[in-house]
Amino acid sequence: MGELLAAGATLAQGRYRIQGLIGGGGMAQVYRARDERLARTVALKAMRGDLPHDPGWAARFRREAQAMAALSHPNVVAVHDTGEEVGPGGGEPVPFIVMELVAGRSLGDHLRERGPLPAAEALDLAAQVLAALAAAHAQALVHRDIKPANVLLTGDGTAKVADFGIASTAESADAGLTRTGTAIGTPSYMSPEQVEGRRGVDGRSDLYSLGVVLFQMLSGRLPFEAESGYAVGYLHVHTPPPTLAEFGIEVPAPVQGILDAALAKRPQDRFPDAATMRAAVLAAVRAQPPTRVLRTSVLGVRAPAPARDAAPRALPELPATALFADRRLPHPPTTPLDRLRGALSALRRMPKPSRGAVKFLCFAASYLIAWRCVTIVRAGTWPPLVMVALGIGCLWYGGAKRSHRIRGPVSFFHEVLTAIGWLFYGGGAVVTAATLLMRK
């Protein structure tokens, strides 16, 4: 195996010349190679030679490669060729797949360098991966190992999913893999049905894994972390997933809803397919504030500031009940109390000079009402409760939003006036109530 794929060795009758090892995983190793016939650099993936031997492995590997080659999609790593090669010393042939060499880096490397991504960028990448999964699931291909290391980013920021079909092929290999306890997939991203080893794992397992990736892109951490793969698997099966708010991360409600649906324990509680989840992600993208995002920003290039004259994006048409279910959106005024709150909110949104003038007028009105109440009391009558309530209301608004007041002597004088006003009106209300109760 080492001689067959050593630097300088050739495969397929001299067509592919190995240039060096790029990386590898538990099932295969990827090499940089030169396609001598077409004069291009490609990625050549060959299965590891230390895996248990399976007589039907080469045929299954070839079928997977053919299915991947038929999957022509801009968000999937393209397959150019497939074959098998026998080493100089003979032995079992080594199957290999020749794919396009993506000039960029993996999403895993990108997250290690950047940390949490903005919501718009994370949703854009998730939508691209979902487009690839929708095309793959339509061809009856289930990835089963969606993780940042298997999502490659090109120079213009396009996401390409790699390693389709490898995990599903490995599950059909010799039963010795299961007997030795070899895990198929990556524990941190495996769905509960993968952890439990259920039969008939379908595309909804990939949606769960992508939900884990989306959570990691938004928060910079995994939803479930433990000291061992077994412990992580137990958490995936039995522990409810955390919300982003638990880690102090605020996202729009639709984004958290996407995560909740994708990370559901039961497959039937998730999105029914990748196309449905992608539609939800695109709706969340359209709901983001208008901004001009360059695809190159996902590779660490700072995107330009949003243009002031940029046309606002059209929001998706949603029922009014769905819009107002979000507590951050104001409900339409339906009662007099709602209208009063709306008027107060409009006053608070006024410019600071105007707001200060209104507060000063409210203070002045409250003390004029207080002076009028004193004159009425001295004349032998009691002030109407409406005047007392009006004065208290003026005093309350004049003293509202204390955190926005100017610091210094003005603030101290403001506090003194507020305290005196509350004492006056509070005492006046108590005396008035006591007098009314004592009248015969």
145 is catalytic: yes
User: Which class for 325: exposed (0-12), middle (13-18), buried (19 or more C-beta within 10 A)?
Assistant: exposed
Single-letter residue type at 273: D
Look at the alpha carbons of 20, 86, 57, 73 in this order and tell me if their dihedral is positive or negative: positive
Residue by residue, what is the 3-state secondary structure of the chain? Answer: CCCCCCCCCEECCCCEEEEEEEEECCCEEEEEEEECCCCEEEEEEEECCCCCCCCCHHHHHHHHHHHHHHCCCCCECCEEEEEEECCCCCCCCEEEEEEECCCCEEHHHHHHHHCCCCHHHHHHHHHHHHHHHHHHHHCCCCCCCCCHHHEEECCCCCEEECCCCHHHHHHCCCCHHHHCCCCCCCHHHCCHHHHCCCCCCCCHHHHHHHHHHHHHHHHCCCCCCCCCHHHHHHHHHHCCCCCHHHHCCCCCHHHHHHHHHHCCCCHHHCCCCHHHHHHHHHHHHHCCCCCCCCHHHHHCCCCCCCCCCCCCCCCCCCCHHHHHCCCCCCCCCCCHHHHHHHHHHHHHCCCHHHHHHHHHHHHHHHHHHHHHHHHHHHCCCCCCHHHHHHHHHHHHHHCCCHHHCCCCHHHHHHHHHHHHHHHHHHHHHHHHHHHHHHCC
Which listed residue (124, 145, 163, 206) is catalytic? 145
Active site residues: 145
